[in-house]
């Protein structure tokens, strides 16, 4: 069995472009030029598939003018026909979307027509159609379908007939003809389950139609819609034909219907651990988030039975899903520090509310009337574990940790309504907001509303009063300095207008005022090669200048530590490997995990010395931000490989010689090592094209000789080398040398000599 892998752009036609052999687990590079050029010079890929059904783990790492690891790469599987059809519209049997690390998980049972050698894998890169070039690497792994208790879910099964006696009717559906299957396992309250699924119902895979919205129950205008739930089971906003489930007890309480939740589109679609209530219909999909994380479904208190069905159950007569159910561990919750990640599904007004509390949503066209815009535990606001001193100033600095969408519309156009004792605030919808509270929240003491037509230099909220903590996605992230009010013992952060319809997250760094805290100089984060200001690239070496950084420290080996002499550096919430620490300078590696996307081109850099936090500084992130290392007298470190000598204007190289240029910041490579680890012994070329420009300082004549190698230097951390042979037509005398890549500014010029 073989799969062919092709690359396409969002507006370009897809097709098979060759049969280059692809080894499972081994990455291959690709480059897509503008206007629909396909990867690898119009070559596709074939890969052996050992069994059916299968699990495919695809990794697509992208580097463009907009950034590496864009978390908007759709990965498609298609059998029987090619992925592309008329007008370049993508069709598929199953689909995944890459996470911030570029990974996607897909499960496939081939439908009729899917024969050996007649299945295709493709990926579609979103939000970059205007980019002048897209480079990346593609890795595909093939694994058996996950083991577990297997259940066939027929197309005619309807979730609302779960547990109902024979003869029960639901519209034109009835028991037992349309009864959903019960999973033959012992359900234990509090136990998490993995539920993986493959197959098709009505030509749609378990993750749903990938664009059509539906609410599980009756068919209406092409959508699977429902207005009220049935037999005590809740309604839900779910993708058409998606695999869904419900936990039931020994009996069904038809007098109590739990809140209805929004799963598509929105944050719950990508929530790794779900806590459904008893009788609450929940979305399963393929059993992984669209970003490739395996999901856990926790059985609620009182649950003894689990039923599965399709969201279009009973209204589509063809196909079935194959589900595999197994027990799973609940992932540990990352401890919150002064460096906090605030998902857009958080709702500040749920502070101290009991489990299951929900915030009603708006009754929009075709939306269920009981749909919740926010619900616990998913929408719980984030508490920052910081000791509060009344009168002290807290400094808030924020950035986008991952692409933020869908916020601001749940609770009003631009206002935040007062609820549960917290004040209203106007002009903040979509912004990061905060509130100070005491040991308890007093709902009878709602403070005055606040109008944020402009952000004051120092905010002085009272207890339980909303304040501005950071900018909205499309806004400038103005800093926020806030005075702690009297009586405050706790600080909570959330997103104004956030809720289940949003996705993505903010990063916030909260720093108490402290004259002895480490301080980063203005524009103090620079490329360590040449100390170039401006953006820095993931994986590159940077220098950070400031004060109170801590005692001198050096690493003793590889991988590099993330703590030297009590000093740490964070890019957003990711610790950076450290080369060197002194009281006024730190040399660090920008972690490869530092995410970059078309809406998240910055990161917060924070220094922590023995638990004392600096005020974070914002630095721009780019996939290519090269700098050349220099000698103390300012010459670029360019070595003549023929002689081993440093090439300078007074010590020229000759035409025909090979130059080795030492740099950092070429961006992602074919074999990125772990952050802090040495580069692999095998060649790991940069994914983005790298050009070397040699220009005469006298005449302006220039050449761009072919680059023999540009990528990581084996065994070293964050060190790049570029090998290039000086051509016979190169200018002689004093020559200006620069590095460049498509759509990125050329690196600062240096002079060498050529004879």
pLDDT in tens, 7-57: 332 222 233 333 455 677 778 776 655 433 333 223 345 555 556 676 766
> For strand 54-64 and strand 133-144, is the pairing parallel, antiparallel, or unpaired?
antiparallel
Q: Is the pLDDT of residue 4 over 60?
A: no
How many degrees, rounded to 5, is the angle at CA 303 between CA 298 and CA 306?
Answer: 75
d(CA 717, CA 675): 8
> What kind and span of H or E run contains 242?
none
Q: What is the pLDDT of residues 703-714, one digit of tens each?
A: 999 999 999 999
| Mean predicted confidence (pLDDT) in 285-289 | 85
Q: Chain-wide mean pLDDT for the chain?
A: 80
Torsion of CA 388, 389, 393, 398, to 10 degrees: 0
Question: Which of 94-98, 285-289, 742-746 shows the lowest per-residue confidence on average (mean pLDDT)?
Answer: 94-98
Torsion of CA 334, 623, 129, 69, to 10 degrees: -30
Find all residues with CB under 8 Å of 573, minimum gap 6, and list them: 339, 340, 341, 401, 507
Q: Say what the pLDDT of residue 460 is.
A: 95
Q: Which residue has the higher pLDDT, 371 or 671?
A: 671
Q: Which residue has the higher pLDDT, 333 or 338?
A: 338
Q: Is the pLDDT of residue 478 over 80?
A: no
What's the distance, CA 362 to chain centroid? 28
Fold classified for 519-620: Immunoglobulin-like (2.60.40)
Q: What is the pLDDT of residues 676-733, one digit of tens each?
A: 999 999 999 998 889 999 999 999 999 999 999 999 999 999 999 999 999 999 999 9
- How many C-alpha atoms does 357 have within 13 Å on its Cβ side? 15
User: Confidence band (pLDDT; 50, 70, 90) for 667?
Assistant: confident
Q: Say what the pLDDT of residue 224 is.
A: 42
* In contact, 630 and 530? CB cutoff 8 Å: yes
Q: Say what the pLDDT of residue 569 is.
A: 98
| Mean predicted confidence (pLDDT) in 240-255 | 93
Q: Say what the pLDDT of residue 615 is.
A: 96
| Mean predicted confidence (pLDDT) in 566-577 | 95
Can you tell me which residue has the tokens 């992230």?
Answer: 477
Q: Is the pLDDT of residue 600 over 90?
A: no
Q: Say what the pLDDT of residue 293 is.
A: 75
With 0-12 / 13-18 / 19 or more C-beta atoms within 10 angstroms meaning exposed / middle / buried, residue 496 is buried
Q: Is the pLDDT of residue 219 over 70?
A: no
Q: Is the pLDDT of residue 127 over 70?
A: no
Q: Say what the pLDDT of residue 406 is.
A: 43
| Mean predicted confidence (pLDDT) in 524-550 | 94
Structure tokens at 746: 């050329």
**348: three-class secondary structure by DSSP:** helix
Fold classified for 627-754: Immunoglobulin-like (2.60.40)
Q: Say what the pLDDT of residue 372 is.
A: 57
User: Confidence band (pLDDT; 50, 70, 90) for 409?
Assistant: very low
| Mean predicted confidence (pLDDT) in 153-170 | 95
With 0-12 / 13-18 / 19 or more C-beta atoms within 10 angstroms meaning exposed / middle / buried, residue 50 is exposed
d(CA 602, CA 341): 15
* In contact, 314 and 173? CB cutoff 8 Å: yes
**269: three-class secondary structure by DSSP:** helix
Reported pTM: 0.84
Q: Is the pLDDT of residue 67 over 60?
A: no
* In contact, 595 and 574? CB cutoff 8 Å: no
User: Confidence band (pLDDT; 50, 70, 90) for 145?
Assistant: confident
In DSSP terms, which residues pair with 719 in a beta bridge?
none
Find all residues with CB under 8 Å of 332, minimum gap 6, and list them: none
Q: CATH homologous superfamily for 150-328?
A: Galactose-binding lectin (2.60.120.430)
d(CA 364, CA 368): 8
Q: Say what the pLDDT of residue 78 is.
A: 61
d(CA 30, CA 43): 9
Q: Is the pLDDT of residue 131 over 90?
A: no
* In contact, 394 and 374? CB cutoff 8 Å: no
Closest CA to 705 of 735, 734, 669, 685: 735
* In contact, 525 and 533? CB cutoff 8 Å: no
Q: Say what the pLDDT of residue 404 is.
A: 46
| Mean predicted confidence (pLDDT) in 270-289 | 89
* In contact, 412 and 497? CB cutoff 8 Å: yes
Q: Is the pLDDT of residue 84 over 60?
A: no
In DSSP terms, which residues pair with 722 in a beta bridge?
661, 710
d(CA 210, CA 245): 19
d(CA 450, CA 428): 10
Would you say the CATH fold of 627-754 matches that of 519-620?
A: yes
Domain boundaries, the chain: 2-144, 150-328, 339-390+398-501, 519-620, 627-754
Find all residues with CB under 8 Å of 634, minimum gap 6, and list them: none
Q: Which residue has the higher pLDDT, 70 or 510?
A: 510
Q: What is the pLDDT of residues 414-439, one digit of tens each?
A: 345 567 889 988 877 778 899 999 99
With 0-12 / 13-18 / 19 or more C-beta atoms within 10 angstroms meaning exposed / middle / buried, residue 538 is buried
Biggest CA–CA distance in the chain, Å, is 96
Q: What is the pLDDT of residues 619-646, one digit of tens each?
A: 988 888 999 999 999 999 999 999 999 9
**121: three-class secondary structure by DSSP:** strand
């Amino acid at each position: 069995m073989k799969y062919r892998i092709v690359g396409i752009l969002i507006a370009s036609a897809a097709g098979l472009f060759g049969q280059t052999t692809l080894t499972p687990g081994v990455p291959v590079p690709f480059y897509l030029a503008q206007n629909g050029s396909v990867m690898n010079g119009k070559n596709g890929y074939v890969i052996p598939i050992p069994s059916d059904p299968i699990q495919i783990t695809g990794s697509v790492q992208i580097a463009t003018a907009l950034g590496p690891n864009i978390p908007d790469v759709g990965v498609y599987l298609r059998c029987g026909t090619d992925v592309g059809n008329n007008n370049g519209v993508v069709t598929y049997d199953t689909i995944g979307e890459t996470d911030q690390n570029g990974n996607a998980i897909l499960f496939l049972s081939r439908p009729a027509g899917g024969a050996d050698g007649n299945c295709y894998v493709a990926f579609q890169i979103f939000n970059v159609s205007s980019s002048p070039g897209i480079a990346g690497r593609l890795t595909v792994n093939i694994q058996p379908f996950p083991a577990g208790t297997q259940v066939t879910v027929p197309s005619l099964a309807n979730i609302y007939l779960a547990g109902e006696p024979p003869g029960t009717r639901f519209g034109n559906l009835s028991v037992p003809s349309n009864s959903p299957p019960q999973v033959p396992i012992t359900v234990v309250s509090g136990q998490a389950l993995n539920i993986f699924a493959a197959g098709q119902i009505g030509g749609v895979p378990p993750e749903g139609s990938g664009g059509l919205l539906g609410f599980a129950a009756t068919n209406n205008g092409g959508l699977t819609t429902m207005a009220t739930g049935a037999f005590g089971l809740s309604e839900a906003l779910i993708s058409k034909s998606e695999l869904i489930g419900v936990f039931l007890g020994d009996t069904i309480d038809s007098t109590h219907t739990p809140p209805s939740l929004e799963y598509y589109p929105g944050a719950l679609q990508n929530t790794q651990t779900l806590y459904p209530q008893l009788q609450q219909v929940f979305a399963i999909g393929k059993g992984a988030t669209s970003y490739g994380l395996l999901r856990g479904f926790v059985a609620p208190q009182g649950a003894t039975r689990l039923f599965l069905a399709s969201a279009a159950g009973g209204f589509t007569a063809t196909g079935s899903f194959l589900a595999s159910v197994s027990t799973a561990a609940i992932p540990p919750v990352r401890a919150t520090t002064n460096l906090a990640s605030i998902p857009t599904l958080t709702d500040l007004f749920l502070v101290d509310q009991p489990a299951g509390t929900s915030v009603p949503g708006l009754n929009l066209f075709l939306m269920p009337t009981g749909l919740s815009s926010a619900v616990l535990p998913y929408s719980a606001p984030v508490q920052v574990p910081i000791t509060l001193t009344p009168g002290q100033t807290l400094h808030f600095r924020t950035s986008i940790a991952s692409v933020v969408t869908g916020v601001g519309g749940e609770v009003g156009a631009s206002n935040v309504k007062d609820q549960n004792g917290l004040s209203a605030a106007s002009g903040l919808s979509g912004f990061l907001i905060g509130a100070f509270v005491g040991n308890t929240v007093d709902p009878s003491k709602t403070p005055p509303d606040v109008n944020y037509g402009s952000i004051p230099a120092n905010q002085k909220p009272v207890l339980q009063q909303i304040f501005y903590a950071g900018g909205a996605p499309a806004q400038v992230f103005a800093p926020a300095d806030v005075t702690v009010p009297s009586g405050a013992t706790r600080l909570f952060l959330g997103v104004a207008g956030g809720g289940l319809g949003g996705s993505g997250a903010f990063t916030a760094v909260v720093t108490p005022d402290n004259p002895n805290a480490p301080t980063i100089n203005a524009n103090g984060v620079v490329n360590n090669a040449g100390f170039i200001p401006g953006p820095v690239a993931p994986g590159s070496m940077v220098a950070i200048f400031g004060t109170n950084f801590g005692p001198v420290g050096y690493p003793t080996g590889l991988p590099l530590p993330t703590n030297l002499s009590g000093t740490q550096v964070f890019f957003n919430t990711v610790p950076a490997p450290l080369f060197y620490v002194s009281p006024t300078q730190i040399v660090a590696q920008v972690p490869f995990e530092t995410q970059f996307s078309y809406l998240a081109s910055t990161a917060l850099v924070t220094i922590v010395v023995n638990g004392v936090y600096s005020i974070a500084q914002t630095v721009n992130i780019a996939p290519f931000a090269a700098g050349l290392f220099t000698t103390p007298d300012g010459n670029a470190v360019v070595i003549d490989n023929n002689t081993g000598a440093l090439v300078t204007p007074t010590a020229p190289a000759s035409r025909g010689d090979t130059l080795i240029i030492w740099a950092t910041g070429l961006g992602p490579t074919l074999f990125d090592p772990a952050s802090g680890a040495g580069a692999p012994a095998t060649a790991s070329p940069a994914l983005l094209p790298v050009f070397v420009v040699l220009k005469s300082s006298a005449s302006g004549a220039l050449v761009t000789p072919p680059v023999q190698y540009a990528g990581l230097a084996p065994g070293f951390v964050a060190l790049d080398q570029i090998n290039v042979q000086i051509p016979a037509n190169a200018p002689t005398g004093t020559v200006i040398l620069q590095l460049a890549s498509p759509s990125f500014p050329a690196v600062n010029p240096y002079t060498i000599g050529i004879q």
